[in-house]
A and B are shown apart, each in its own frame.
Chain A
Amino acid sequence: MFHVLGRYILLMRLSFRKPEKFSVYWAEVMREMVSQGVGSLGIIAIISVFIGAVATVQVAFQLSSPLVPQSIAGSIARDSTILEFSPTISALVLAGRIGSSIASQIGTMRVTEQIDALEIMGVNTPGYLISPKILSGLSMIPLLTIISVVLGLSGGYLACVLSRDIAPADFVVGLRDSFKPIIVTVCAVKSIAFGFIITSVCSYFGFYTSGGALEVGQSATKGVVFSCIWILFADLIITSTIL
């Protein structure tokens, strides 16, 4: 446990050493941003719309009382989407999509001696391979979370239009009612933390892969599983600390 933690911290320290040439690293960051950001847009859009819609329908069902104003469903859907559904569910999905890709990509480079080739050239391999992925994750995962929030709330509105359980106008009133900006802060902190966890944990498991194709698969699995556990743990810590 402490051995793994120590190795992880050392790897992160090496990852943020001064780059050999900034322009080469910058090109890698841009490539990763396209891969992580644009590549994940489809899956994030689909899950966000559906989760937003389902959350709204369920809240409407649970609060179906003449004593409770219908607009409250909008407020609850907004808070749960911004606080939990968009950052956490998106992060868990992205751990599968981005995390497994990172771990298997770096793991394959390790077992096919591509990392050795980089080291022989004098390249700081953790810096070249890991830091662009982390920087991209730190910027793209919050952006994807913002998109997820917008689409999740749009999904809730769509559910109101289609199901007629709540009047769409009431849903919009609920969205705007008693809004506390702190929930946006929590959402932003979570998405940045989750971005770091997904990219760094999966990079770690990929980087220390040894063996062959079987071990690359195992590294990807371990990366995703540990990322998910750490995401849920960080979720609890951040929520209980800030709220």
Chain B
Amino acid sequence: MIETQSVYKKFGDNEVLKDITAQFRPGKNNLIIGTSGSGKTTLLKCIVGLHEPTSGDVLYDNQNFTDMHFKERVHIRKEIGMLFQNSALFDSMNVEQNIMFPLNLFTDMSHSEKLDRANFCLERVNLAGKNKLFPSELSGGMKKRVGIARAISMQPKYLFVDEPNSGLDPLTSILIDHLIAEITQEYNTTTVVVTHDMNSVMGIGDHIIFLYDGKKWWEGTNKEIAHTHNKELNDFVFASSFMKAAREKL
């Protein structure tokens, strides 16, 4: 389980996160939602250590990640898989090399074992046989799937996903969402997804945290979100006329 305890983050005078206390549970799709600029990605970056919180703590299975120095963090980072908004695949490496990269650095597996693992991960994301393609030869959806394959190559305990649906068509978005949900179940990972895509929220949101103006404004499940009376959350979730109509039918 991952916990944040009273996390604050300031950039200069701009306080982006204010007193965020939350728990992200294993085997669940924990979604962080909110409008643009609400602090979702900053919170994610504080959790994974790309940003240091101004104050407050981040705990991974009761180990205080914020207080650790680089070498101590490496042990936890080996258990982290992350899919970035733009996939962040290494341009100079092909698909297979991208997936094998963490295995090369942190395992003593033989080349054939690493290759088997890479092929398994590629099959898992329905990209078998695409080993030799370079990132520039992949579509947006394929890049996301390779990103997921790389993220799961080390069998992570914690999976972080930043805006998995950005730039994707609705069908591909749903496929990516399902893939994330399946992997969460399979590996029992603590999955944290930052999104503002309502399909994702309603589809895979086991546990949802809504951020508003840098604060944790609401917390619940995708079943509860449709019936909430929180004004700011309703404004966000039911912003479109389609969603308003859908709510009236519920």
Contacts and interface: CB of A to CB of B under 8 A. Distances in A.
Contact of B86 (A113, A119, A120): A113
B134 interface: no
Contact of A114 (B70, B78, B91): B91
Given A20-B106, A21-B105, A113 B78 contact: no
Interface in A112-134: 112-114, 116-117, 119-124
Interface residues of A, number: 16
B105 A120 contact: no
Contacts of B80: 120-122
B88 A114 contact: yes
Nearest to A111: B86
A122 B50 contact: no
A15 to B, nearest CB: 13
B85 A113 contact: yes
B88 A122 contact: no
A113 B70 contact: no
A117 B70 contact: no
A24 interface: yes
B84 interface: yes
A21 B84 contact: no
Nearest to A17: B70
Given A20-B105, A24-B104, A114-B91, A122 B84 contact: no
Interface in B80-109: 80, 82, 84-86, 88-91, 101-102, 104-106
A113 B88 contact: yes
B133 interface: no
Contacts of A109: 90-91
B73 interface: yes
B74 interface: yes
A39 to B, nearest CB: 14
Given A20-B105, A114-B91, A122 B85 contact: no
Contacts of A121: 77-78, 80, 101-102, 105-106
B91 A122 contact: no
Nearest to B50: A116
Contact of A117 (B73, B78, B84, B106): B84
A21 B104 contact: yes
A122 B78 contact: yes
Contact of A113 (B84, B105, B106): B84
Contacts of A123: 105
B237 interface: no
A78 to B, nearest CB: 41
A14 to B, nearest CB: 9
Contacts of A117: 82, 84, 88, 90
Given A20-B105, A24-B105, A120 B91 contact: no
A113 B82 CA distance: 11
B91 to A, nearest CB: 7
Interface of B: 48-50, 70, 73-75, 77-78, 80, 82, 84-86, 88-91, 101-102, 104-106, 160
The 6 closest A-B pairs by CB, nearest first: A122-B77, A122-B74, A113-B88, A117-B88, A113-B84, A120-B82
10 contacts: A112-B86, A113-B86, A114-B89, A117-B82, A120-B49, A121-B105, A122-B73, A122-B74, A122-B78, A124-B70
